[in-house]
Amino acid sequence: MPTYRLGELFCGPGGIAYGAINAAIEDPEFRIIHEWATDYDKDTCDTYINNICPDSPNSVICKDVRKLDLSTLSEIDALAFGFPCNDFSVVGEQKGMDGVFGPLYSYGIAALKRFKPTWFLAENVGGLRNSNDGTAFAKILSEMREAGYNLTPHLYKFEEYGIPQARHRIIIIGISDDENVNFRVPSPEPYSQTDNSARTAIEVPPIPENCANNELTRQSPTVVRRLQHIKPGENAFTANLPDELKLNVKGAKISQIYKRLEPHKPAYTVTGSGGGGTHMYHWSEPRALTNRERARLQTFPDTYVFHGSKESVRKQIGMAVPCRGAQIIFEAVLRSFAGIEYPWIEANINE
């Protein structure tokens, strides 16, 4: 069965899906097609529908996963779920399993047990390893194995795969115990010569004038003056700012506040946050990046139109998995099933 029907929980705006449906290997019979997807946010669902499955809008269910009836969904051969990371993120409070979002992974486990897909991809932040003193990650892996899957968890550093952004994510590939197939982590070596600098990603080719989601964010005169004193790679706390432009912050000083990109390096991690100096900032112009520039750092094509307000779009882009990174991993999955050799490395979940 070389064509795998993909179901997605917590689908986001479609970074995983776009990587999946564009995954192509030497044997064209092995491919992934969209079957259904679900997310609770309407703008996100609209974005997904219009870019991934415009001809089958009813295949996207816009509903809280806790109210989702799995029995209403069609059969699938593969499952993807980037379960919400809010409670596992290093930036957040790391409530882990004790938070509102931590236990949502269990709906992915329920889907594995119901549909028994041939394989699955699960994604979360690197902080998952340490949440609840490491017990959360162990529990999640244990439940996935109990559902009948051979697992390959790995901490992917997407900048090593040619993605123009330092984004580290744990991705777990699970293959059914019924399959005599071993998945290997694709090697980053083939991408070692890729120009993945922020400047190239944002400027080459230039963003078309009429491109969607490319509106500038208004900067106050104070912010413009502050940015003029911050050099590429510096932030509001490491730059040599005049007293009147310094931030009056006590306690933790988050390193990404008013941090400017370094043009010759991959960007720092794109997040869904904004305001308070967290938008991501251009290396030479005294302004925040536009949503389209952020989407380029996430490797979405310029034709990918995001729906909703500017704030909603910013969150969608920050939540997504980089399309090209997802595609690389999906192609490794397809090659594993097709029996096609590819360069690989040992799985490792440590920094």
Catalytic residue ranges: 85
Cα three-residue angle 269-62-99, rounded to 5 degrees: 55
Question: Rounded to the nearest 10 degrees, what angle do helices 310-319 and 42-52 cross at?
Answer: 70
Q: Is 259 within 8 Å of 235 (Cβ atoms)?
A: yes
Q: Is 16 within 8 Å of 80 (Cβ atoms)?
A: yes
What's the rounded Cα separation, in Å, for the pair 187 and 341? 12
Whole-angstrom CA distances from 24 to 20, 36, 75, 84, 212 are 9, 20, 23, 28, 27
CB-based burial, 303-337: b 16+ in 10 Å, e otherwise:
ebbbbbeeebbbbbbbbbbbbbbbbbbbbbbbbbb
122 closest CA partner among 88, 84, 77: 84
CB proximity list for 344: less than 8 A, separation 6 or greater: 184, 185, 186, 187, 332
Q: How would you class 72 by CB atoms within 10 Å of its CB: exposed for 0-12, middle for 13-18, buried for 19 or more? A: exposed
What's the rounded Cα separation, in Å, for the pair 87 and 70? 24
Give the number of residues written for the chain: 351
Where would I find the beta strands (DSSP E) of the chain? 3-9, 31-39, 60-62, 78-81, 119-125, 149-157, 168-176, 185-186, 344-345
